[in-house]
């Protein structure tokens, strides 16, 4: 049984690196390979397959940064088995539940009683705290901090360094389906489905905000 990392771009190469460092993954799979639609040769020393070369016993990790692209490929490969790939440094609480196809990068954290859907991508140092509820195809960029009692809809993308404030059992913080939260944003209230919220970008000290 091979681990097939679909995508050989930056995210795919990072996924391959963490897979090769994980003793658990090396023991589970006979080989780690890439797959892309137009293979042209090895990438970082690993073979690259065409999609039709993926066998029924292989397990696929969709390593694409776009939530929409992961959704599209999950539908395309429906009927195949999807791999849960976690870095050796990732931490997952025994009480947490994670769906199929998750990619947990170095030092990512899924904490107590969190419930996560399919095909999560949690980049390096992304944190999901206690009692969060996260839908399918959610993307957490590096250093995202989702504090406790947050509900995140499917297809949400959260940019690097964004912080989502803590909700509570009585007042959960809601992020609607398909929302995009920009890098460095501080989210203190609910975000509607499909909304885009951003933080002010860095600017020279004497430059007035637009």
Q: Same CATH topology for 2-83 and 85-198? A: no
**What residue spans define the domains of the chain?**
2-83, 85-198
Tell me if the pTM is above 0.85. yes
Nearest to 51 by CA among 73, 19, 84: 73
User: Does residue 186 contact residue 170 with C-beta atoms inside 8 Å?
Assistant: no
2-83 maps to which CATH number? 3.40.50.20
**Contact assessment for residue 153 and residue 134, using Cβ atoms and an 8 Å cutoff:** no
Determine what percent of the chain is predicted with pLDDT higher than 70: 96
The confidence band for 209, taking pLDDT boundaries of 50, 70 and 90, is low
Architecture in CATH for domain 85-198: 3 Solenoid (2.160)
> CB-side exposure of 83: number of CA atoms within 13 Å?
28
Which position has the token pair 């999950």?
A: 74
Q: For 111-158, how does the pLDDT look when each residue is reduced to its tens digit (9 = 90+)?
A: 999 999 999 999 999 999 999 999 999 999 999 999 999 999 999 999
Q: Of 80, 84, 107, 130, which is the active-site residue?
A: 130
State pLDDT tens for residues 162-178.
Answer: 999 999 999 999 999 99
Residue 71 is among the residues annotated as catalytic for this protein:
no
List helix spans (H) across the chain.
Answer: 10-21, 23-28, 67-76
Q: How confident is the model at residue 199 (pLDDT cuts 50, 70, 90)?
A: confident
């Amino acid at each position: 049984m091979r681990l097939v990392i679909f995508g050989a771009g930056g995210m795919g190469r990072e996924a391959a690196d963490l897979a090769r460092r994980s003793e658990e993954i090396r023991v589970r799979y006979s080989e780690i390979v890439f797959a892309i639609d137009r293979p042209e040769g090895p990438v970082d020393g690993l073979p690259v397959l065409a999609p039709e070369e993926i066998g029924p016993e292989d397990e696929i990790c969709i390593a694409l940064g776009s939530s929409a692209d992961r959704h599209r490929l999950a539908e395309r490969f429906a009927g195949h088995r999807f791999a849960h790939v976690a870095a050796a440094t990732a931490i997952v609480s025994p009480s947490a539940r994670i769906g199929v196809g998750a990619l947990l990068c170095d030092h990512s954290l899924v904490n107590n009683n969190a419930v996560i859907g399919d095909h999560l991508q949690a980049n390096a140092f992304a944190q999901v705290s206690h009692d969060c509820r996260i839908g399918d195809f959610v993307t957490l960029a590096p250093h995202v901090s989702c504090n406790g009692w947050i509900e995140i809809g499917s297809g949400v993308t959260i940019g690097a360094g964004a912080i989502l404030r803590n909700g509570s059992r009585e007042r959960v913080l809601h992020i609607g389906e398909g929302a995009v939260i920009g890098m460095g944003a501080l989210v203190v209230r609910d975000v509607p489905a499909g909304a885009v919220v951003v933080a002010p970008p860095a600017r020279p000290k004497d430059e007035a905000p637009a």
